[in-house]
C-alpha cells in the first residue's frame, strides 16, 4: 500500500509540473462554499469572493488594495449640480464570457446596466424574485429603493441614475458587490428556456475570470477571460479549494497544494512568520469593535461618566487576551484604512485612579451596570464573553459592579436596539463601501437611534457635520467634515472604541503581487505566479 501511494503521489507530482509548464494555475484555499453566484442576493464575503470579485465588473470599482473608487465598466460620470442625477458613460467593446452554457452575441451595453439594477428595484420585474425567498440584501440594506428614483438608458452607452435626494457616497455604493453587472442577454435566454434560477448557479459576467464548474463543498473552477477589457489575467486557471478548517488550510499551503489562504488560526501566525515558503501579509481590517453605552439612560447620559469608564478599560490587555495579537487599539470610530481617518486623535488614557476620581466627582457611587456580550465570533470581536469578563475586572477596580448578560444572536440584535435598554452593548461593524458615512451616519446618526445606533446617541453638532458631508460631493471638503466629526465623537464618547482587527494573509512565496483588500475580499486579477 505504501509503495502504491508513493507511486501515485509521484505521478500526481509529475502531472502537476507538466501542467504548470504551459498554464498557470493558482489555487486559493477558500473557507467555505458560496451561497450562490448572483452577488446581489447575498452579503457574505465568501460568496462575493466566488462571484463578484472574479466573475463580474461594476460601473466603478475599488482600486485593488485601497478604498479608492476608480472607473470600470463606466469610463466617466457626471453629477448634476443638485446632486440628484448621475450620468455614466459606459466602456465600449466589453465582452461577456463565452462558456459551455452561453455564447454572447453582443457586447456589454446600457441594457445590461438597467437590467442589473431594475431587477433589484422594481417589485414586478420578472427577475425580482426569480429564486424563492430572494431578497436583495445589500440593495435594500443600503436603502437604495428609497434613494433611487429611476435608472434610465439614455443611449447604448449612457445610463442615467436619478436620485430622490443627494447622496455623496452614491459612487462608492455603486462599487459594491450588489452593483455587479449581469448580462441581460443571458438572463433573457434563461427566462425563455424557463431556467431562470440558473442565473444564480451558472454565472456569466464581464470580469477577469469566467466560471467553469462548481462542486458544492469541494471546488470552484475558473478560467481566465481571454478577451477581458483590461487585458487577460496572468493566471490561466483559478481554483477555489473549499477548505473550512484553518489548520488544514495551512497544511495545504505548506504542502504547496494552495497558494493563498484566508483566516489563519491565530495560533499559527508565529509559525507562518518564520516559514520560509510563506509570506505573511497583514493589514488592519475595515472594521471597528466598540462598547456602546445607552446615552439615554442615567448615569450614562453624562459625558464625564462615559469618559471615566473609557479610562478604566485596559485595552492592551484586551488585545492580548481576546485578539491574541490580531488586533489594534481603536481610537476613532472608523478604521485607519478609510480616508479621512484622523490619525492625530488622542485616545482616553488608561488610568483607573483618575477614572475613579472622576466618577466620585460626578457623584456616581456603587454603580451597577450590565455589559452585553455577543454570542458569536466576529472579526472585530473574536470572543465577546472574554472581552466582557476583562471589562468586568477593569470596572471593578473603579468601583463599578458589572453583570454580564448574553442573549441568542437574533435576540441580541433585536433587544440591543431598544431605547430603554439596560446596559452597555459590545458590538461592531464591518464597512461596506469604504466611505466614512457608512460608519459615522449608520452607527452614530440621529436617524439610526433605535436602530443600528446602539448608543442611542443623537448629538446635534455631530449630526449637522455628517449631514453636511453627505451632500457635499468634493472629497477634500468631506474629509474635513468627517475629521471634525471624529473629534466631536471623541469628546462626547458615546462608545468606548476598542479595537480594529488585523487581517493576516499567508501567501506562498511564488505568488506575485497579491494585495490585501481592505474590504476583506480576495481578488486574483493582477496576481501572478513565479
Nearer to other proteins, 70 or 267 (CB): 267
- At its nearest, how many Å lie between other proteins and the CB of residue 89? 32
- Which position has the grid cell 454580564? 404
Nearer to other proteins, 271 or 405 (CB): 271
- At its nearest, how many Å lie between other proteins and the CB of residue 280? 16
- At its nearest, how many Å lie between other proteins and the CB of residue 380? 10
Q: How far apart are CA 139 and CA 177, in angstroms?
A: 10
Nearer to other proteins, 73 or 338 (CB): 338
- Intra-chain end-to-end CA distance of the chain, in Å: 35
- At its nearest, how many Å lie between other proteins and the CB of residue 404? 14
- At its nearest, how many Å lie between other proteins and the CB of residue 252? 7
Contact 450, 419 (CB under 8 A): yes
Contact 262, 519 (CB under 8 A): no
Phi, psi of 183 (to 5 degrees): -90, 120
Cα 116 to Cα 127, 174, 186: the distances in Å are: 10, 12, 12
Residue of 231, 234, 235, 211 whose CA lies nearest to 93: 231
Q: How far apart are CA 375 and CA 392, in angstroms?
A: 17
- At its nearest, how many Å lie between other proteins and the CB of residue 21? 13
- At its nearest, how many Å lie between other proteins and the CB of residue 15? 6
Nearer to other proteins, 427 or 523 (CB): 427
Neighbour count for residue 515 (Cβ, 10 Å) = 16
Contact 521, 437 (CB under 8 A): no
Nearer to other proteins, 80 or 143 (CB): 143
Upper half-sphere CA count for residue 10 (Cβ side, 13 Å):
6
Nearer to other proteins, 161 or 429 (CB): 429
Nearer to other proteins, 44 or 488 (CB): 44
Q: How far apart are CA 244 and CA 242, in angstroms?
A: 6
Nearer to other proteins, 57 or 285 (CB): 285
Nearer to other proteins, 267 or 471 (CB): 267
DSSP for 97-119 reads PPBTTB---S---HHHHHHHHHH
Residues binding other proteins (CB under 8 A): 1-2, 4-9, 11-12, 15-16, 19, 27, 33, 35-36, 41, 43, 131-135, 137, 140-141, 197, 200-201, 213, 215-219, 221, 239, 241-248, 250-252, 255, 257, 265, 267-268, 271, 408-411, 413-414, 417, 427-430, 451-452
Q: What is the dihedral of CA 30, 35, 38, 44, to 10 degrees?
A: -70
- At its nearest, how many Å lie between other proteins and the CB of residue 109? 28
Nearer to other proteins, 128 or 304 (CB): 128
Contact 281, 514 (CB under 8 A): yes
- At its nearest, how many Å lie between other proteins and the CB of residue 268? 7
Backbone torsion region of residue 327, taken as left when φ is above 0, otherwise alpha when ψ lies between -120 and 50, otherwise beta: beta
Q: Is the bond preceding residue 291 a cis peptide, omega within 30 degrees?
A: no
- At its nearest, how many Å lie between other proteins and the CB of residue 245? 6
Residue of 315, 430, 302 whose CA lies nearest to 358: 302
Nearer to other proteins, 354 or 413 (CB): 413
- At its nearest, how many Å lie between other proteins and the CB of residue 213? 7
Upper half-sphere CA count for residue 498 (Cβ side, 13 Å):
31
Nearer to other proteins, 361 or 419 (CB): 419
Q: How far apart are CA 289 and CA 328, in angstroms?
A: 10
Query: Kind and range of the H or E element at 424?
Result: strand 424-430
Beta partners for 211?
222
- For 518, residues 6+ apart whose C-beta sits below 8 A from its C-beta are 62, 65, 66, 67, 283, 285, 286, 337, 338, 431, 434
- At its nearest, how many Å lie between other proteins and the CB of residue 410? 4
Q: How far apart are CA 323 and CA 507, in angstroms?
A: 21
Amino acid at each position: 500500500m505504501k509503495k502504491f501511494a508513493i507511486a501515485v503521489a509521484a505521478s500526481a507530482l509529475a502531472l502537476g509540473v507538466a501542467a504548470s509548464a504551459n498554464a498557470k494555475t493558482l489555487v486559493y484555499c477558500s473557507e467555505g462554499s458560496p451561497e450562490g453566484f448572483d452577488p446581489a442576493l447575498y452579503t457574505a464575503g465568501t460568496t462575493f469572493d466566488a462571484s463578484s470579485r472574479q466573475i463580474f465588473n461594476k460601473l466603478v470599482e475599488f482600486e485593488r488594495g485601497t478604498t479608492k473608487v476608480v472607473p470600470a465598466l463606466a469610463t466617466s460620470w457626471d453629477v448634476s449640480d443638485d446632486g440628484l442625477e448621475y450620468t455614466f458613460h459606459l466602456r465600449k467593446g466589453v465582452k461577456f464570457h463565452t462558456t459551455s452554457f452561453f455564447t454572447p452575441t453582443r457586447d456589454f451595453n446600457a441594457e445590461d446596466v438597467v437590467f442589473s439594477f431594475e431587477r433589484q428595484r422594481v417589485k414586478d420585474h420578472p427577475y425580482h424574485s426569480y429564486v424563492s425567498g430572494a431578497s436583495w440584501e445589500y440593495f435594500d440594506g443600503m436603502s437604495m429603493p428609497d434613494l433611487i428614483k429611476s435608472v434610465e438608458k439614455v443611449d447604448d452607452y449612457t445610463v442615467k441614475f436619478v436620485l430622490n435626494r443627494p447622496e455623496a457616497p452614491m459612487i462608492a455604493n455603486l462599487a459594491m458587490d450588489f452593483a455587479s453587472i449581469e448580462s441581460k442577454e443571458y438572463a433573457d435566454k434563461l427566462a425563455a428556456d424557463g431556467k431562470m434560477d440558473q442565473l444564480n448557479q451558472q454565472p456569466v459576467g464581464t470580469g477577469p475570470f469566467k466560471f467553469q464548474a462548481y462542486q458544492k463543498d469541494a471546488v470552484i473552477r475558473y478560467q481566465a477571460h481571454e478577451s477581458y477589457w483590461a487585458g487577460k489575467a496572468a493566471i490561466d486557471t483559478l481554483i477555489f479549494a473549499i477548505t473550512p478548517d484553518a489548520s488544514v488550510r495551512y497544511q495545504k499551503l505548506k504542502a504547496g497544494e494552495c497558494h493563498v489562504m484566508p483566516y489563519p488560526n491565530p495560533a499559527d501566525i508565529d509559525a507562518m512568520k518564520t516559514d520560509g515558503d510563506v509570506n505573511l501579509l497583514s493589514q488592519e481590517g475595515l472594521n471597528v469593535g466598540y462598547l456602546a453605552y445607552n446615552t439615554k439612560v442615567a448615569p450614562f447620559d453624562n459625558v464625564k461618566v462615559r469618559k471615566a469608564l473609557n479610562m478604566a478599560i485596559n485595552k492592551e490587555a484586551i488585545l492580548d487576551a481576546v485578539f491574541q495579537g490580531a488586533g489594534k487599539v481603536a481610537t476613532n470610530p472608523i478604521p485607519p484604512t478609510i480616508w479621512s481617518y484622523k490619525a492625530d486623535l488622542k485616545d482616553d488614557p488608561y488610568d483607573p485612579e483618575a477614572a475613579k476620581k472622576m466618577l466620585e466627582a460626578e457623584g456616581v457611587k456603587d454603580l451597577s451596570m450590565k455589559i452585553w456580550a455577543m454570542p458569536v465570533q466576529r472579526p472585530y470581536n473574536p470572543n465577546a464573553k472574554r472581552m466582557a469578563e476583562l471589562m468586568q475586572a477593569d470596572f471593578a477596580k473603579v468601583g463599578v459592579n458589572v453583570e454580564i448578560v448574553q442573549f441568542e444572536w437574533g435576540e441580541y440584535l433585536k433587544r440591543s436596539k431598544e431605547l430603554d435598554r439596560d446596559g452597555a452593548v459590545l458590538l461592531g461593524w464591518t464597512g461596506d463601501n469604504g466611505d466614512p458615512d457608512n460608519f459615522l451616519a449608520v452607527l452614530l446618526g440621529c436617524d439610526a437611534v433605535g436602530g443600528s445606533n446602539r448608543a442611542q446617541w443623537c448629538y446635534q453638532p455631530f449630526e449637522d457635520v455628517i449631514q453636511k458631508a453627505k451632500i457635499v460631493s468634493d472629497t477634500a471638503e468631506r474629509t474635513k467634515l468627517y475629521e471634525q466629526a471624529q473629534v466631536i465623537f471623541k469628546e462626547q464618547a458615546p462608545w468606548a472604541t476598542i479595537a480594529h482587527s488585523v487581517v493576516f494573509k499567508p501567501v506562498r512565496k511564488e505568488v506575485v503581487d497579491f494585495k490585501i483588500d481592505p474590504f476583506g475580499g480576495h481578488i486574483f486579477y493582477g496576481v501572478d505566479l513565479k
